[in-house]
Amino acid sequence: MADMQDGKFVHDATTAPRSDRVLPLFSLKGKTAIVSGATSGIGLAVAQALAEAGANVAIWYNKRKDEAEQSAADIEMEYGVRCRAYQVDVSSYPAVEAAIDHIARELNGRLDVFVANSGVAWTKGPMLDGPIDMYSDVVKTNVDGTYFCARAAGLHFRRQKKEGTTLDGKPLDPPFTTGSFIATASMSGHIVNVPQLQAAYNASKAAVIHLCKSLAVEWVGFARANSISPGYIKTSISEFCDEETKRIWKDKIPVGREGEPNELKGAYLYLASDASSYTTGADITELQVDNAIRAIQQKKPLPEIDFTIHTMEDGTQVSTLERVCKDVQAPAMYKPSDEQFFEDETRQKPNVQFLKQHFYREGRLTEEQALWIIKKGTELLRAEPNLLEMDAPITVCGDVHGQYYDLMKLFEVGGDPAETRYLFLGDYVDRGYFSIECVLYLWALKIHYPKTLWLLRGNHECRHLTDYFTFKLECKHKYSEAVYEACMESFCCLPLAAIMNKQFLCIHGGLSPELHTLDDLRNIDRFREPPTQGLMCDILWADPLEDFGQEKTTDYFLHNHVRGCSYFFSYPAACHFLEKNNLLSIIRAHEAQDAGYRMYRKTRTTGFPSVMTIFSAPNYLDVYNNKAAVLKYENNVMNIRQFNCTPHPYWLPNFMDVFTWSLPFVGEKITDMLIAILSTCSEEELREDSSATSPGPVSPSLPSASSASGQDPDSIEFKRRAIKNKILAIGRLSRVFQVLREESERVTELKTVSGGRLPAGTLMLGAEGIKNAISSFEDARKVDLQNERLPPSSEEVQKQHDEERAQALERAAREAEQDKKLQTLSRRLST
């Protein structure tokens, strides 16, 4: 019943939307809508409009299942909402009621909008000549179907307004204001069509219009009911009409054509949204739409805007002075006090729980605090032997490579360091952009748990690689060169290998021709930079052969052409070493693995994998798409735990700020604008000038008086030449900015496969080749292979970079000199 007392409507039974701005009123974000007859035509256009406004949409169809399901899939992909297709017979009330209940439960437990668009056309001419069965079909779909849909939807609207909950009893979010029922009627409900005779259809659409007007009274307080009466719209429902009939239609239409379904989207969205909160019982006809458009075009000036308030798409207002994304933690903008940094008053151990969260929010320490962790950790590392020995249980971890957020995931998978013994195999830094956080946190854990957490050295823990890749740059950007130097000293103190449970040799790289017994490891002088050859180099750089276990050679060791140093070692070399030293297997890191680990061929004597590789940096460089793994060994049982990457904050390459990165873009646009201002003539004029001034053949001659006068700064010739040279200089500058702009544009694409540094040849070759090549783990590995080599010296890198930049700038200048438009422009402005 309507909210009435003594035949009068109850005052203030509804409330107006709170927003005084128009666009937020059209948002349907978080709401659920159903559109019947939505396989194509008007129904499909309406479903698209409601989805674009943010609603989850159910589209109903009768027969064309494949087409309807494809339409639903297209809507989901296009608008990012949920959309499903359902086959429903609208002439059956039980089917309609069951379908609405099912959809409301599946789509957020609610119903906000129902568009009754199903309809059947009359195609049999005069009433007296048409079959009764046709009349029944028209009325069952157009009248009964609309009535059934209205009743079933209205029950949901009324319950939601009364209870304010979903079907599961949860509070409605966004809150339910009023439901909206929209029926597709027709201009035929207002007029008699000539020459297209369709009495049954006209009567059915008139009934739909009056049904909605009646429901508007009955549903006051919980829902609005409106209808839309389109004119002649180009849909399948009118395909039976001949061209002569359509020509007569166009004679009666002011714009002289049939309408398109998309042209009705605005009317349906208006009635579906809170923008029509004061519209109920209305029938929108073409005339009303014209009036609405005219009113919008003649609207009053916008009110003064408060720029400290921003209205989101869903109508929510937020302050521009506060953080909007409150679910994403703001970066830590402060450096901790010593009270926060140390665990207790003794100041012997850092507060690792605080550091974990502080680094997770991109927080930094004071330089003194960072140096304290590094130097305290260095003291512990220096006191340890080259070859560590530890018992099970233990968790072995591979490369981390500056992926701090994945390191936190590693500890979730592997266990709390307070309760779990850990052995890390090196490569804590470079390639990732959070290397110093990894070092500081791991060193802090080492200070806390010196007897249960061990750190080995990897090939990246050295001055040469950290200078070539990102770690040195990161230390200088986030802290200072003093922190970097302290790290270098600490890296030289890292142990080189470990014997786990007296069964497994744990190293970063691999075997060496100079490694015969474990004593060879104990006798290495590790307190130095790794050499480029010899035993210390090999245990950091060596790899198993790619065809390990199926070698076609009898050699134990082959030159490692991939790394540019050290060796590949073979299956026989591994078996010989294991048997000689009474060991079970070699556990190493050093190589990215698609699954995070790799088990190599088993030994003949023990049946255990001779070599195992563990890699603990998931989605390495943000392009490998690999999983990471840790190895847990306990009770003589070895388990591999895999994990995926964790989202992390983004850094521009080389820790650039956005202003530095964008300057080439700005410079290119400014020079383009300057050239455009100077180009005051048309293309035709330029062509005329070019032909008029094209020089003919010139024969050698002696210097003339005119050429001599060209050297006089006060002469006209000298001034003309100066203007011409300035124009050409602007052109060269424009080309230079273009080169720099392309570099900035592509460096973000290249940084992940080049360790964060702009790779050699970028200015000359660009990024397209690499961008198009990366589509799988193997592709990424092949593209990145050059960065797995021992890098050239910094002097060689700088020399190559300078040469390539000089070539690129020379090419830019040459292109400017050859630009016909610039040449013509310089001639015109210097005459």
Give catalytic status of residue 210 as yes or no: no
Pairwise CA distance, residues 390 & 385, whole Å: 12
Closest CA to 460 of 578, 540, 372, 574: 540
**Which of 346-355, 653-662, 687-696 is most confident?**
346-355
pLDDT in tens, 783-803: 777 888 888 877 787 787 778
Dihedral sign computed on CA atoms, order 6, 7, 11, 17: positive
User: Would you place residue 307 in the very low, low, confident or very high pLDDT band (cuts 50, 70, 90)?
Assistant: confident
In this prediction, residue 670 has a pLDDT band, given cuts at 50, 70 and 90, of: confident
Lowest average pLDDT, out of 42-51, 223-232, 254-263, goes to 254-263
pLDDT at site 663: 80
Active-site choice (358, 460, 590, 648)? 460
What is the mean pLDDT of the segment spanning 66-87? 93
How high is the pLDDT of residue 755? Answer: 45
Q: HEC string of 419-435?
A: CCCEEECCCCCCCCCCH
State the maximum Cα–Cα separation within the chain, in Å, rounded to a whole number.
115
Digit-coded pLDDT (tens) for 717-734: 666 666 666 666 666 666
DSSP 205-253: HHHHHHHHHHHHHHTTTTEEEEEE---SB-SGGGTTS-HHHHHHHHHH-
Over range 644-654, report the average pLDDT: 91
Mean pLDDT of 403-427: 98
- Flag whether pLDDT at 452 surpasses 90: yes
Q: Give tens-digit pLDDT for 247-279.
A: 665 556 666 677 788 888 999 999 999 999 889
Each residue of 160-189: pLDDT tens digit? Answer: 999 999 988 899 988 898 999 999 998 877
Which run of H or E residues covers position 544?
Answer: strand 543-544
Residue in the block written with tokens 């190493």: 588
826 or 17: whose pLDDT is higher? 17
pLDDT of residue 317: 87
| Weakest-pLDDT range from 324-338, 374-388, 493-507 | 324-338
Q: What is the mean pLDDT of residues 705-716?
A: 55
Q: How high is the pLDDT of residue 11?
A: 60
pLDDT in tens, 143-167: 999 999 999 999 999 999 999 999 8
Residue 567 exposed, middle or buried by CB count within 10 Å (0-12, 13-18, 19+): buried
Question: Using an 8 Å Cβ cutoff, are 590 and 458 in contact?
Answer: yes
Q: Between 117 and 692, where is the model more confident?
A: 117
Would you state the pLDDT for residue 3?
62
Is the pLDDT reported for residue 67 higher than 60? yes
For residue 364, pLDDT beyond 80? yes
pTM, to two decimals: 0.56
What value does the CA radius of gyration of the chain take, rounded to a whole number of Å?
38
Least confident of 70-84, 297-311, 421-435, 446-460: 297-311
Residue 708 has pLDDT above 70, yes or no: no
| Segment among 56-65, 604-613, 649-658 with least mean pLDDT | 649-658
- Measured N-to-C along each axis, helices 404-414 and 435-448 cross at an angle, to the nearest 10 degrees, of 40
| Residue 493 pLDDT exceeds 50 | yes
Contact 386, 480 (CB under 8 A): no
Residue 500 to residue 431: CA distance in whole angstroms: 29
- Kindly indicate the confidence band of residue 701, based on its pLDDT and cuts at 50, 70 and 90: very low
- Residue 424 predicted with pLDDT over 90: yes
Which pLDDT value is given to residue 237?
60
Whether 692 has a pLDDT exceeding 50, the answer reads no
Residue 814 pLDDT grade (very low, low, confident, very high; cuts 50, 70, 90): confident
Q: Which domains does the chain show, CATH number per domain?
A: 18-297 (3.40.50.720), 366-643 (3.60.21.10), 653-683+712-829 (no CATH)
Least confident of 590-594, 610-614, 802-806, 822-826: 822-826
- Contact residues for 563 (Cβ-Cβ < 8 A; gap 6+): 541, 543, 788, 789, 790
> How many C-beta atoms lie closer than 10 Å to residue 147's C-beta?
19
What pLDDT score does 737 carry?
67
Cis peptide before 393 (omega within 30 of 0): yes
- Long-range contacts of 286-291, Cβ-Cβ distance < 8 Å, separation of 24 or more: 286/187, 286/229, 286/230, 286/231
From the list 354, 340, 343, the residue with the least C-alpha distance to 447 is: 343
Instruction: List, in order, residues 6 or more apart from 630 with CB less than 8 Å away.
Output: 395, 396, 397, 398, 410, 413, 414, 614, 616, 640, 641, 643
**How much is the average pLDDT of 551-573?**
95
Model confidence at 709, in pLDDT bands (50, 70, 90)?
Answer: very low
Report whether pLDDT(232) > 90: no
State the average pLDDT for the chain. Answer: 84
215-226 mean pLDDT: 92
pLDDT-derived band of residue 764, with 50, 70 and 90 as boundaries?
Answer: very low
